[in-house]
Structure 1
Amino acid sequence: MSIPSIPSEEALRNLVQGPGDVEWRYEMRRECQEILPGLLLGPFQASKSQEVLRSLGITHIVCIRDAKEAFSVKPRFPGQFQYLTLDVEDNEEQNLIRLFPQANAFIQQALSQGGRVLVHCNGGISLSPAFVVMFVMQHCQLSWEDALHLVQNRRYCISPNGGFLTQIKEYESIYKANAAIARYPTAQMQRVVSRRKRDNDDDEAG
C-alpha cells in the first residue's frame, strides 16, 4: 500500500487535520485509532482482545515495550497475528532512530500485502506514537510538525517525551536526505566518480 502524493496544500491540510467530526472522550485513550489506512495506534489494552483485533481486521502487531514491562506487555496471540516485538527504554536517552528501520520495514511489508497493523506500547502515549509519527512523516513525505499533528488529530492523547520529540525532528532531515539519494543515485554516483577522477588527475599533475 502506498499513500498517494499530496496534490495540493488544501489536500495536505485535510490529511493532517483528519476527520473533524470526532469528539474525543477520555476513555478513548484505552482504544486504538486508525492513523492512516491500515495503520492503527493504541495502548497495550487494545491488543488484549482477540475479538476486537479480528473486528478491526488486524493482521500484524508491533509490540513496543520497556524491557522491564516484558513480563506483562507481550504478544498475546502469537499463533493468530504476525508480531514484531521491540524492547525499548521509555526514557529521553533511548535512541529510536536506530530502531525505527526495523519497525518501518515490518509496517511497510504488512501494508503492501494488504494487511492492517496495530502499533502499541503500554499506554500508547509516548513510545509507540513516536515510531508512528516517524513512519507517517516518511510515508507521506511530511514535515515533522505535520506528521505529529496528523497523528495527534486522530489520537488526541499522544505526548512523546522531549528526547523522542528531538529525534522526530532529526529524522525529518534523515529521511529527506535518503529520499534525495534514492531519487538521484546515478547522478550522485557520477559526481563521486568524476570527483575522484579530478582528484587523481590533480595528484598525477602534482
Structure 2
Amino acid sequence: MSNNNKSLLSITQVRPHLFLAGYGCITPSLLKQYNITHAVDCTNLKTKPIPGLDKIEVPVDDNTLAKITQYFEPVVKFVEDAKQQGHNTVIYCAAGVSRSATLTIVYLMVTENLSLEEAYLDVNKVRPIISPNIGFWRQMIDYEKSRSGNATVELISGRMARPVPSVYLRRAVC
C-alpha cells in the first residue's frame, strides 16, 4: 500500500490536540484510541451520531465555487474551546484532503500566527496528500490578506489548465 493510500486510511496528528482525517477513520474505536471527543464534520453528509462525540458541521461541498470562509472563525473557536478544556478534536471530510485540510491550515494560521505558506507546509509535512481545491486556496489567500495585509501564496497561471498555488512549486523544489 502506498503512503498516500495509508494517509487516506489514517488519522493524522497535526498537533497534540488536533487531528485531520477522512470520514472512513471516524469510528468509535479510533476516536477512543486517539482520545478524540470533538469533531468538525466537513462531509456535508447525513451521518449517524457517535455517542460522546461533540460535533459541529461545516456543510460545504468540495468544489471551487463553495464558500468556506464563513466557517473559518467558528471552527477555530470550536477547536480552541475544546483544547482549553483538555479535549482533542478531529477535523474531517470525505478523504481528509481538501475541506478538512483547508480548515486545519486556517486554524494554524490563526492560533499560531503562521503565514498561509507556513501553515500549508506544516500540515503537508505530516499529511502529504492534502490538496485544497483552487476555490479554497483563493479564499485562504484572501483571508491571509485580510489578516496581515499581504499574501504568502499566489495562484500562478500560465500554460497550465488551471492555476496552481505557488507553494506547490516551492514544495516540489525542496
The TM tier, using the shorter chain, reads: 0.7 to 0.9
1:63 and 2:65 correspond? no
1-side partners of 2:111 and 2:133: how far apart? 22
Q: 1:25 Cα shift?
A: 5.3
Amino acid at match of 1:44: Y
2-side partners of 1:76 and 1:46: how far apart? 14
Name 1:31's counterpart in structure 2.
Answer: 10
Q: 1:76 Cα shift?
A: 3.7
Unmatched 5+ stretches in structure 2: 150-174
- Runs (4+) of structure 1 exceeding 2 A deviation are 23-26, 173-177
1:118 and 2:96 correspond? no
Query: 1:32-181 counterparts in 2 under 5 A?
Result: 32-47=11-26, 49-66=27-44, 70-71=45-46, 74-77=47-50, 79-176=51-148
Q: Is the Cα contact below 8 Å between 1:58 and 1:116 reproduced in 2?
A: yes
Query: What secondary structure does 2:126 align onto?
Result: coil
1-side partners of 2:25 and 2:49: how far apart? 11
Larger Rg: 1
2-side partners of 1:43 and 1:92: how far apart? 19
Q: Greater relative contact order (Cα 8 A, min sep 6): structure 1 or 2?
A: 1
Q: 1:170 Cα shift?
A: 1.5
Instruction: Indicate the percent of aligned positions where both proteins have the same amino acid.
Output: 24
Tell me how many residue pairs correspond in the alignment.
148
Amino acid at match of 1:128: S
TM-score by length of 1: 0.67
Q: 1:64 Cα shift?
A: 0.7
Unmatched 5+ stretches in structure 1: 1-22, 178-206
Higher strand proportion: 2
Amino acid at match of 1:56: Y
Q: Is the Cα contact below 8 Å between 2:4 and 2:129 reproduced in 1?
A: no
Amino acid at match of 1:165: W
Please give the root-mean-square deviation of Cα atoms over the aligned residues, in Å.
1.7
TM-score by length of 2: 0.79
